[in-house]
Amino acid sequence: MSIPTEPIGSIPRTPELQSGMAAHAAGGLGTAELAALYDAAVRDTIARFEQAGSPVVTDGEQSKPSFATYPLTGLSLAPDGAVIPFADGHTRQLPQLTAGPFRYGSYAGDYTRAALAVAGVPVKQAVIAPSALSLLYPADGIEGYSRDQFIADLVDEAEKDIRSALDAGAASVQLDFTEGRLSLKLDPSGGVLAQFVTLNNAVLDRFSAAERARIGVHTCPGGDQDSTHSADIDYAGLLPSLFTLNVGSFFIQLASEAEPERVLAIISEHIGADQRIFVGVTDPIDPAVETPQLVRDRVLLAARYIPVDQLGTTDDCGFSPFGDDTSTSRETAFAKVRARIEGTALAEQALGL
């Protein structure tokens, strides 16, 4: 396609996998049987992406515990970490590191290899941004393991995670940076955001220019259970800093924004000549499936502000980012994926591409 289109990451798990995970947790299903269900769900997810005409696929995060926690197995953790409050009143709580050294328990390359084994088109791999994992370190420190040591380990591990996906054959790697907008809610001065950007760039600067061209960053107001944690935070505070991240692509939630044209105007003021902007044209939280014509119109609006050769389309967010497999149905998710792909093609036709 002349205008590239890509998913963000997560898709609600298959009903068979959901049942199998519950049975495994209750002790009624073995690990080998659960692994077979994971494999079947990955195959089904990729097949359905390809049937929808998706030129790039993900594994739908079928076998990840969540987009944020997949690296955390084997660490010394306590349950009383940072709390993320959502607009509807529910919360998500991160764990807290209790001892060092910090090491990932699993790496994105493992998920990439499993997806590539069954995919017939390029595979995109999402990874958690190091800035999100920096929240694991407790404010009062860890005896014998300083924050400086933790950050050094985190940078090493985050580089290893991204590189594992690239080396495994991922066409691209996307850093999930949903905490970017949230940081401005926690600290309106922008100090925490500046720390996050500096930390992420410390990892990204370890990659070559050619490698960074294959790396992107996703930002959104943090969707979960049909709610968000920072939709009330103005994009104007985030986007100028966001575009200083040393990556080739940016995946920006836009379909659910109250004033998308205003956001597009801000984007147009700050993007660099070598940066591609994937604008969100479907809203995973909205149960109504967008028509291809609505997607087309959203793309045409974006093309008024972003050069077409720097424009792409995406979904606002993953469809089950914290492993929430019920708020949005699997059928609705793939219907929205198909609408995005078909609507992007209609926009290409309207633009004469």
Mean pLDDT by 10 residues, the chain (353 residues): 92 95 93 95 97 97 88 90 84 90 96 97 97 95 97 98 98 95 93 97 98 96 84 93 97 96 97 96 96 98 98 96 88 98 98 95
How many angstroms separate the CA atoms of 39 and 67, rounded? Answer: 18
- Cβ atoms 337, 288 nearer than 8 A: no
Cα separations in angstroms, 209 against 160, 198, 309: 17, 18, 19
* pLDDT value of residue 67: 81
Q: Which residues pair with 77 in a beta bridge?
A: 97
* pLDDT value of residue 92: 86
How many angstroms separate the CA atoms of 93 and 235, rounded? Answer: 24
How many angstroms separate the CA atoms of 251 and 304, rounded? Answer: 18
Domains of the chain: 55-351 (3.20.20.210)
Instruction: Give CA angle at 328 (62, 316), nearest 5°.
Output: 85
Q: Is 141 left (phi over 0), alpha (psi -120 to 50) or beta?
A: left
How many angstroms separate the CA atoms of 221 and 181, rounded? Answer: 6
Pairing label, strands 83-85, 91-93: antiparallel
- Packing angle of the helix pair 31-51, 108-116 (nearest 10 deg): 60
Within 8 A by CB and 6+ apart from 40, the residues are 14, 16, 17
- Mapping DSSP onto H, E and C, the string for the chain reads CCCCECCCCCCCCCHHHHHHHHHHHCCCCCHHHHHHHHHHHHHHHHHHHHHCCCCCECCCCCCCCCCCCHHHCCCCEECCCCEEECCCCCEEECCEECCCCCCCCCCHHHHHHHHHCCCCCCEEEEEECHHHHHHHCCCCCECCECHHHHHHHHHHHHHHHHHHHHHHCCCEEEEECCHHHHHHHHCCCCHHHHHHHHHHHHHHCCCCHHHHCCEEEEECCCEECCEECCCCCCHHHCHHHHCCCCCCEEEECCCCCCCHHHHHHHHHHHCCCCCEEEEEEECCCCCCCCCHHHHHHHHHHHHCCCCHHHEEEEECCCCCCCCCCCCCCHHHHHHHHHHHHHHHHHHHHHHCC
